[in-house]
């Protein structure tokens, strides 16, 4: 069965533009990206839209569907109200290029600033490391990230306050957590997280967790544990005294 | 950090493309937390009707100073400043209050509901400036770990109150109040054991948890409670207020404490 649905799509370049209405036919099983492609094919050949895998794994088709950051390829039409126009806008936290396409290269720049993985000396004579599965399981969750940047887009520190120069955003706090909690890693990222990467700006409103298409518990498993490590190091006077006396990490 | 300039288009307070009722959750949070704070403040200043039979209201536990017949150290101490109001609750409520106020879940919830920072996800905010928890005053939220320690000390005391709540003049028995105090303490225990800070201190701090089997089990337990931390937080919040209300109304003779056996 098919129905006619109206889409209100942002058209324009470099921030300037407007929402334009397109009505197209929707059939069962379609996702928002299918509808955008149909509009592109039949009504707006010049509509710019980034996409690739159509399977929720490349993170290219991120947009704001009815005001919420989502992957267009994973948003089923059956989950949206068909009786009202469906709004599709580009990500708001990054510079707009054209129509639904934004420039997310700020994220690539930020990633370079995070200290790289620095393994301890190999555990075995053949130059390999031994790790328990339990220890790896914790960081494995973070490796599900597809870098769609929906979490960056919804984070109000970036989206509303534009603190891009001071705050790396949830995606890169997850990346930092994956490295910092890795059982074989020896690099110390806590001074960077406190001073340059801006972990203190996160006020744990969990919007990043809610929009993650990979269901990574960003706030509970990555950001808060990192915040706690920073508190251990810098804001806990008893631990500081303990470290000064014993010379240990205080754990 | 990055040399790429990212221009930001501010939305304006409440502006969003979301067509759903995004304001419902922050409004319910505002009403729920607001009602709790108002009730607990009122109840804490009463200083009466906090005991009924073997029951002690959780807002007044432990009764360090108070009724000379039941308090640990007798009546109001002489050294207590006369210009300050005195009730047993005011001596202890700072601890669970501070624990909840600095809790990671509640922080996120009340920043949205009371401070609109943000009002809801992807909704415009009223203020341009923002410091987050990076500087004063919100950097003080890092005190949470100390409140956790005090909250953990309170737990066995509350469990002792539960035990006391099953012993009446006629011996062991089960009444509605006994079960209400029991459920309340179960919920408070679940809330405390799921604390993010506890989870971190038990095992989250370690990268090679498998080398510490006891801490690994503790970390698993805390993670299990932590997954439903929001649920524990809300249910325990209401159960604390309801337990006090139950004891209070029974003590005032308005409600009858039903005997089960």
Question: What is the domain partition of chain A in residue ranges?
Answer: 2-102, 105-246
pLDDT value at residue A1: 66
The string of pLDDT tens digits covering residues B93-112 is 999 999 999 999 999 999 99
Residue B46 lies in a domain: yes
The residue ranges of chain A whose pLDDT is under 70 are 1, 249-251
Interface test with A, best of B130, B136, B198, B225 (most A CBs within 10 A): B130
Question: Model confidence over B72-101: pLDDT tens digits?
Answer: 999 999 998 989 899 999 999 999 999 999
Interchain pair B200, A228: CB under 8 A: yes
- B139 and chain A in contact, CB less than 8 A: yes
**Closest in A87, A196, A225 to B1, CB measured:** A196
Q: Considering the domain boundaries, does residue B7 fall inside one?
A: no
Please give, rounded to a whole number of angstroms, the shortest distance from the CA of A171 to a CA of chain B.
15
Residue B145 contacts A where some CB pair is shorter than 8 Å: yes
Look at A66 and B17 and tell me if their CB atoms are within 8 Å.
yes
pLDDT at A249: 56
Q: Which of A170, A176, A169 lies closest to A192, judged by CA?
A: A176
User: What is the pLDDT at residue B2?
Assistant: 60
| pLDDT greater than 60 at residue B60 | yes
Q: Is B21 on the interface with A (CB under 8 A)?
A: no
Candidates A5, A66, A156: best to mutate against B (most CBs of B within 10 A) is: A156
Written as one string, the DSSP assignment of chain A is: -EEEEEEEEEEEETTEEEEEEEEEEEETT-BHHHHHHHHHHHT-TT-------SSSSS---EEEETTEEEEGGG-BGGGS-TTSPEEEE--SSS-EEETTEE--HHHHHHHHTSPPP-B-S-SSTTS-----HHHHHHHHGGGG-----HHHHH-HHHHTT--TTT---HHHHHHHHHHHT-TTB----HHHHHHTS-GGG-----HHHHH-TT---IIIIIIHHHHHHHIIIII-HHHHHHHHHH-S---
Homologous superfamily of domain range A2-102: Beta-grasp domain (3.10.20.30)
- Interchain proximity A138–B197, CB inside 8 Å: no
Residues B167, B163: Cα–Cα separation, whole Å: 7
Name the minimum distance, in Å, from the CA of A215 to any CA of chain B: 13
Q: Does B200 touch chain A (CB under 8 A)?
A: yes
**Is B17 part of a structural domain of the chain?**
no
Q: What is the mean pLDDT of residues B195-202?
A: 97
Q: What is the pLDDT of residue B3?
A: 64
B6 contacts A93? CB cut-off 8 A: yes
Q: What is the pLDDT of residue B180?
A: 98
Where on the phi/psi map is residue A30: left (φ > 0), alpha (ψ -120 to 50), or beta? Answer: beta
What integer pLDDT is reported at residue B1 of this predicted model?
Answer: 60
Question: Among A92, A224, A241, which would you mutate to test the B interface (most chain B Cβ atoms within 10 Å of its Cβ)?
Answer: A224
Percent of chain B with pLDDT over 70: 98
Across the interface, of B131, B134, B207, the residue whose CB is closest to A135 is B207
Contact B16 A138 (CB under 8 A): no
What pLDDT shows up at residue B10? 75
Averaged pLDDT, B240-259 = 96
Which chain A residues contact residue B197 at CB under 8 A?
228
10 Å CB burial of residue B170 (0-12, 13-18, 19+) is: exposed
- Asked whether the beta carbons of B210 and B24 are under 8 A apart, the reply is no
B27 HSE (CA, 13 A, CB side) = 4
Nearest CA to B53 out of B246, B260, B239, B261 is that of B246
Superfamily in which the A105-246 domain is placed by CATH: Alpha-helical ferredoxin (1.10.1060.10)
pLDDT score, position A39: 97
Q: Which of A66, A203, A231 sits opposite B111 (nearest CB)?
A: A203
Mutate to test the interface with B, among A66, A94, A165, A205 (most CBs of B within 10 A): A205
Please tell me the predicted confidence (pLDDT) of residue B53: 94
A2-102 and A105-246, same CATH topology:
no
| pLDDT 10s digits, A96-124 | 999 999 999 999 999 999 999 999 999 99
Chain A contacts of B132, Cβ < 8 Å? 157, 200-203
The answer to whether the Cβ–Cβ distance between B17 and A89 falls below 8 Å is yes
* Average pLDDT value for residue range B7-31: 91
Count the Cβ atoms, other than its own, within 10 Å of residue B36: 16
Residue B16 lies in a domain: no
Min distance B62 CA to chain A CA atoms (Å): 26
Please state the domain count of chain B. 1
Contact A193, A201 (CB under 8 A): no
Contact A205 B112 (CB under 8 A): yes
pLDDT digits (tens, 9 = 90+) for B128-163: 899 999 999 999 999 999 999 999 999 999 999 999
Q: Which residue of B has its CA nearest to A217?
A: B227
- Give the domain range for residue B236: 24-127+134-251
Per-residue confidence (pLDDT) for residue B11, from 0 to 100: 75
In A, which residues are within 8 Å of B209 by CB distance? 134-135, 138
**Residue B4 to residue A206, Cβ atoms within 8 A:** no
Q: Does B17 touch chain A (CB under 8 A)?
A: yes
Mutate to test the interface with B, among A95, A111, A159 (most CBs of B within 10 A): A159
Q: Could you read off the pLDDT of B155-186 as tens digits, one per residue?
A: 999 999 999 999 999 999 999 999 999 999 99
Question: How many Å lie between the alpha carbon of B80 and the closest alpha carbon of chain A?
Answer: 29
Name the closest residue on chain A to residue B19, using Cα atoms: A66
Interface touch A185/B197, C-beta < 8 Å: no
Residue numbers in B near A16 (CB within 8 A): none
Residue with more model confidence, A94 or B11: A94
ipTM field: 0.93
């Amino acid at each position: 069965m098919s129905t006619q649905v109206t889409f209100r799509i942002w058209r324009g370049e470099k921030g300037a533009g407007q929402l334009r209405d397109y009505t197209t036919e929707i059939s069962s099983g379609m996702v928002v990206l299918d509808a955008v492609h149909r509009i592109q094919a039949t009504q707006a050949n010049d509509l710019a839209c980034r996409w690739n895998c159509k399977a929720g794994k490349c993170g290219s088709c991120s947009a704001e569907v009815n005001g919420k950051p989502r992957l267009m390829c994973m948003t089923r039409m059956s989950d949206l109200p068909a009786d009202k126009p469906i709004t599709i806008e580009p990500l708001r936290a990054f510079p707009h290029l054209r129509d639904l396409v934004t420039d997310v290269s700020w994220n690539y720049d930020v990633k370079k600033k995070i200290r790289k993985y620095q393994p301890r000396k190999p555990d075995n004579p053949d130059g390999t490391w031994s790790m328990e599965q339990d220890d790896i399981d914790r960081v494995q969750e973070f490796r599900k990230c597809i870098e769609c940047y929906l979490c960056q887009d919804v984070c109000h520190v970036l989206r509303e306050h534009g603190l891009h120069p001071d705050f790396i955003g949830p995606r890169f706090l997850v990346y930092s957590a994956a490295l910092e909690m890795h059982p074989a890693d020896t690099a110390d990222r806590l001074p960077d997280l406190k001073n340059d990467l801006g972990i203190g700006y996160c006020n744990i409103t969990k919007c990043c967790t809610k929009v993650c298409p990979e269901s990574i518990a960003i706030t509970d498993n990555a950001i808060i544990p990192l915040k706690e490590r920073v508190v251990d190091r810098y804001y806990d006077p008893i631990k500081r005294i303990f470290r000064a006396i014993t010379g240990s990490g205080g754990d | 950090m990055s040399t790429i300039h990212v221009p930001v288009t501010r939305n304006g307070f409440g502006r969003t493309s979301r067509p759903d009722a995004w304001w419902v959750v922050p409004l319910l949070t505002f009403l729920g937390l607001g009602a709790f704070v108002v009730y607990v403040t009122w109840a804490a200043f009463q200083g009466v009707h906090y005991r009924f039979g073997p029951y002690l209201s959780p807002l007044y536990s432990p009764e360090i100073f108070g009724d000379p017949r039941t308090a640990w150290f007798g009546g109001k101490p002489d050294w207590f400043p006369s210009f300050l109001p005195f009730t047993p609750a005011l001596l202890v409520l700072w601890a669970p209050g501070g624990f909840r106020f600095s809790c990671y879940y509640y922080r996120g919830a009340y920043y949205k509901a009371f401070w609109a920072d943000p009002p809801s996800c992807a909704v415009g905010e009223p203020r341009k400036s923002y410091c987050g928890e990076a500087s004063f005053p919100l950097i003080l939220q890092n005190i949470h770990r100390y409140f956790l320690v005090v909250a953990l000390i309170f737990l066995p005391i509350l469990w002792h109150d539960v035990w006391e709540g099953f012993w009446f003049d006629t011996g062991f028995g089960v009444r509605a109040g006994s079960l209400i105090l029991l459920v309340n303490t179960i919920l408070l225990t679940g809330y405390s054991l799921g604390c993010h800070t506890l989870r971190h201190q038990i095992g989250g701090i370690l990268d090679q948890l498998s080398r510490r089997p006891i801490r690994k089990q503790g970390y698993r337990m805390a993670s299990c409670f932590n997954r439903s931390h929001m649920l524990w937080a809300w249910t325990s919040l209401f159960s604390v207020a309801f337990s006090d209300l139950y004891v209070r109304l029974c003590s005032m003779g308005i409600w009858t404490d039903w005997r089960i056996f």
